[in-house]
Amino acid sequence: MSKSGRPRAFKDTAVVDAAVEVFWSRGYEACSTDDLCKETGLGRGSLYNAFGSKHELYEQALIRYQQLGLSEQIDILRADMPVKERLRSLLEWEIREDSAAGDRGCLLINASAERGKSDPSVEKIFTQHASQLERAIEEAMREGQSNGEISPERNAQELAAFFLSSYYGLRVLYPGTMNRALAGRIIDGVLAAVF
């Protein structure tokens, strides 16, 4: 631990990535220190020396997952293509990601559901992610208005909030159903409501 009482930063992203997989598969409460040691390859002492606690490692795992996902999401929203196609691509990216994750869904959504109201750090990480994603969606909506894809009469902030809500709704619904036809209808409906 550093003199301030905070665990020192751990530079090996492979360890944090391994922890992401453990927490994603088991959740926080069902994950033991032994599970983390087994999957990260660290002994109990090394784990605590590097991270301070299971919770600190959990925070770092959530931040890592959030950073990787948000980077991909924003890249899609800023791609050189019509805004409608960017928004469709983001929704389709979600389907691909959640299909690859099997029944695990989105780690951030799972963490928020499991601990969001009882764990301020989880709530903060999720809220920051949602806010950053909403801003990027709103930028895309405003661009769509300026290039004529979206009516300037519509409120870009409200459209972004609607899209974000639909996006997260699909992220919750899809892993439980794995129904691509339903997901396709939802995507078409969301885009029809915006454009």
Paired tokens of 4: 């301030």
Which range has the worst mean pLDDT, 6-10, 12-16, 162-166, 173-177?
Answer: 6-10
Contacts of 146 (CB under 8 A, 6+ apart): none
C-beta atoms surrounding 49 within 10 Å: 14
| DSSP string for 96-109 | HHHHHTGGG--HHH
In the CATH scheme, what is the code of domain 65-194? 1.10.357.10
pLDDT at 70 over 60: yes
For the chain, percent of residues with pLDDT exceeding 90: 88
Rounded Cα gap, residues 150 and 155, in angstroms: 10
Distance of CA 126 to the CA centre of its chain: 8
pLDDT at 137: 99
pLDDT digits (tens, 9 = 90+) for 28-60: 999 999 999 999 999 999 999 999 999 999 999
pLDDT band for position 12 (50/70/90)?
A: confident
Rounded Cα gap, residues 2 and 88, in angstroms: 46
- On whether the CB atoms of residues 60 and 10 are closer than 8 A, the answer is yes
Stretch 171-186: mean pLDDT, rounded?
Answer: 95
Sequence ranges of the domains in the chain: 65-194
Paired tokens of 96: 């691909």
| Residue pointed to by tokens 């606690």 | 53
- On whether the CB atoms of residues 98 and 175 are closer than 8 A, the answer is yes
pLDDT band for position 11 (50/70/90)?
A: low
Stretch 150-177: mean pLDDT, rounded?
Answer: 97
Q: What average pLDDT does the chain have?
A: 93
Rounded Cα gap, residues 126 and 23, in angstroms: 15
For the chain, percent of residues with pLDDT exceeding 70: 94
Task: Give pTM, 2 decimals.
Answer: 0.89
Rounded Cα gap, residues 162 and 3, in angstroms: 45
C-beta atoms surrounding 65 within 10 Å: 23
pLDDT band for position 102 (50/70/90)?
A: confident
Which range has the worst mean pLDDT, 2-11, 53-62, 128-137, 186-195?
Answer: 2-11
pLDDT digits (tens, 9 = 90+) for 121-142: 999 999 999 999 999 999 999 9
Rounded Cα gap, residues 21 and 176, in angstroms: 19
